[in-house]
Amino acid sequence: MENKKKKSYRPYSHNRSTPKDVLVKVGQKFPLTIKRLGINGEGIGYYKKKIVFVPGVLPNEVAVVKVTEVSPKFLSAKVMSIREKSPDRVTPLDEHANIVGGFELEHMTYAAQLAFKKDVIAQALEKFQPRDWQSINLRDTIGMQHPYEYRNKAQFPVRKIQGELKMGMYARGSHELIDLPVVHTQDPLTMTVMRKVRDLLEKQSISIYNEEKNKGTVKTVVARASQTSGQVQLTFVTNTDGFPGDSELIQVIQKELPQVVGIFQNYNPGRTSLVWGDETIKLWGQDYIEETILGKTFQLSPRAFMQLNHTQMTVAYETAITALDLKHADRLVDAYAGVGTIGITLADKAGEVRGMEVIPEAVDDAMINAQINGIDNATYEVGTAEQLLPQWQKEGWIADALVVDPPRPGLEPALKKEILRTKPEKFVYMSCNPSTLARDLVELSKVYRVDYIQSIDMFPQTPRWEGIAKLTRRK
């Protein structure tokens, strides 16, 4: 496909010169023309040559904004009114879209969202400039037919505020919990369970965590639904290792929420920004829920990672299968293997799959998932790239193909070094961060040609990006 840009939504840069004589105060208001969107979906304009970040606005809009933060390098502001609206502006379905996170682009037409996500990777490549970056084929973003109701996990804090039990998300930039009866990006099954659990917590007079006093029990409720089996896994994250009233609560949940097949408690004491603690115990029911991906069945424990969008995860895996073009003699390395979803999905196409993961529980789950699916050519080991790749080479096992799916910080330096040393012929990089992908390609492109990057909209109504890069070893 041609690399055409009808619109430009450029990620911001702090490299612009910042005038020192701009005197701006918090609370000051002024009109602002929005030039582009930043990587977090915020509007960007300039006031007397100083960069201004404004959530909730679109390119080419003129808004009256009010300054909320003054920094030596930038200003933050909020919208007071919009004088000139973009034709790409729509009314969000969620009434709290401009208050809480997770809906940063819901005021933007879906076509414009997809264009923005293609341009995000273009601008990241321009910033880092890996070899031949200008000739990389950037494919149009693959979107969803129905870009709502896709999130298969809800993870909401619970607090009692002025006598009212609230379950939802925090307002952006604050610690104010907003009760959310409806979230249009969530799978309706998760919201049905969450709202019923909220009511049951109140009805059963279950102890709720008080952050100011650092007392009470239930902090967060997590519901994960399988979009293929309809099963729901419920986890209560608690401040105390005991759970007063859990027996009565479990009995009522069994009666009123038959879709819940397993209930767990995760112990995470004290004031912390981390949602999960290290210890998880089963209170009742099944150890796992089952999810099916491209005909393969996977068992998921409460902490097991799985993409939040089953539909687009399937698209991503199909894209990776096509990009790798595996032959039955190929030896495939599945780095960042998790519970084995990628490697097991690809195992039928390859001669042998070896996965690596640093979390022992994930490796155990991966081996179980391989066994469930009758996969005898995929094995998983605990360890890092610098440990396992040289060890496998000493055994005479040399990879022909590689698939990586790293977290947002991108490839670990040791893995990158091993990739450049071993040079598998076929290579697919699944990325959730355009900036770290482009950064990693600076070194990788010395050995590999980037055939194309396919953007996939894994998180509609948000600025989050997902993409697959097909790399081929240079001759």
Supply the DSSP string of 14-46, one letter for each residue.
TTS---TT----TT-EEEEE--EE-TTS-EEEE
Instruction: Give CA–CA dist 425/127, Å, rounded.
Output: 27
Residue 344: how many CB atoms within 10 A of its CB?
A: 26
Instruction: Give CA–CA dist 111/94, Å, rounded.
Output: 19
> Under 8 Å CB-to-CB from 50, ≥6 apart: which residues?
18, 19, 22, 24, 74, 75
Instruction: Give CA–CA dist 190/186, Å, rounded.
Output: 7
**Contact indicator for 43, 55 with CB cutoff of 8 Å:** yes
> What is the β-pairing status of strands 279-285 and 260-267?
antiparallel
Q: Collapse the DSSP code of 2 into the 3-class scheme (helix H, G, I; strand E, B; otherwise coil) and give the result.
A: coil
How far the first Cα of the chain sits from its last, in Å, is: 24
- How many alpha carbons lie under 13 Å from residue 36 in its C-beta half-sphere? 16
Nearest to 98 by CA among 89, 90, 107: 107
Q: Indicate the helix (H) or strand (E) that contains 124.
A: helix 110-128
Instruction: Give CA–CA dist 68/97, Å, rounded.
Output: 19
User: Can you state the angle between helices 434-444 and 413-422, rounded to 10 degrees?
Assistant: 40
**Contact indicator for 96, 42 with CB cutoff of 8 Å:** no
Active site residue 432: yes
The full length of the chain comes to 475
Q: Indicate the helix (H) or strand (E) that contains 161.
A: strand 153-161
- How many alpha carbons lie under 13 Å from residue 435 in its C-beta half-sphere? 10
Residue 93: how many CB atoms within 10 A of its CB?
A: 14
Q: Collapse the DSSP code of 363 into the 3-class scheme (helix H, G, I; strand E, B; otherwise coil) and give the result.
A: helix
CA angle 152, 153, 156 (to 5 degrees): 145
Instruction: Give CA–CA dist 421/415, Å, rounded.
Output: 10
> Under 8 Å CB-to-CB from 380, ≥6 apart: which residues?
334, 337, 340, 343, 354, 355, 356, 357, 363, 366, 367, 370
The active-site residue, picked from 180, 189, 432, 437, is 432
Nearest to 22 by CA among 83, 80, 67, 78: 67
Which positions are catalytic? 432
